[in-house]
Amino acid sequence: MKRLVWILAAAALAWSQEKQPAEPTNVELTVYLLSGSAQGTADDVPQDLATTVKQLHGVFAYKNYKLTESFVLRGRSTENFNGSGASIDGILPGNGMRYRFGYRRLWVTGSPPRTVHVDSLNLYLSRAPVTTKDGKQRSDNVASIETNLDIRDGQKTVVGKSSIEGDALILVVVPRVVE
């Protein structure tokens, strides 16, 4: 009887540990906005993006690529799917366009290498607001990229390409699970 009690206690302990919610994991997304142009000859990107740009040259007919903007967005994983997302916005240097980048939720699975799953990852670019004749402010959406994706921890991923006035806008994301 004593042995049965110990077995039941061990089983109950194991079951309760399985049912415990997983600890949230912080994930840092490093985001690069690249522009591709039919003009020029030299790329202007950091060394850690050289391999990515070399692959882009093999896929698209743009003559050069340059880094337009980069930023980091850190959020918490939501294994139970009840968490909220994260977003960041700003103004692109040079042309004054506004960007908004974010996601609805993300979560991490696996053991190293881990996979980061992102729902509703999105990037929106718009022109600065203008005031119309009736006094209302309006801004035009210029480009957008939205998707769900799975990326390995540390993997550089070209998420999408859009175009702005003949040039390419390329979104590259690198997730890093923060222990």
What digits encode the pLDDT tens for the residues 81-91? 555 799 999 99
Q: Is the residue at 77 inside a domain?
A: yes
pTM of the model: 0.81
d(CA 121, CA 149): 8
Range of the domain at 58: 24-178
Please tell me the total count of domains within the chain. Answer: 1
**Residue 4 — pLDDT band, cuts 50, 70, 90?**
very low
Residue 165 belongs to some domain of the structure: yes
Tell me how far CA of residue 155 lies from CA of 10, 14, 139, in angstroms.
40, 35, 34
Q: What are the pLDDT digits (tens) for 127-171?
A: 877 777 888 877 788 899 999 999 999 999 999 999 888 899 999
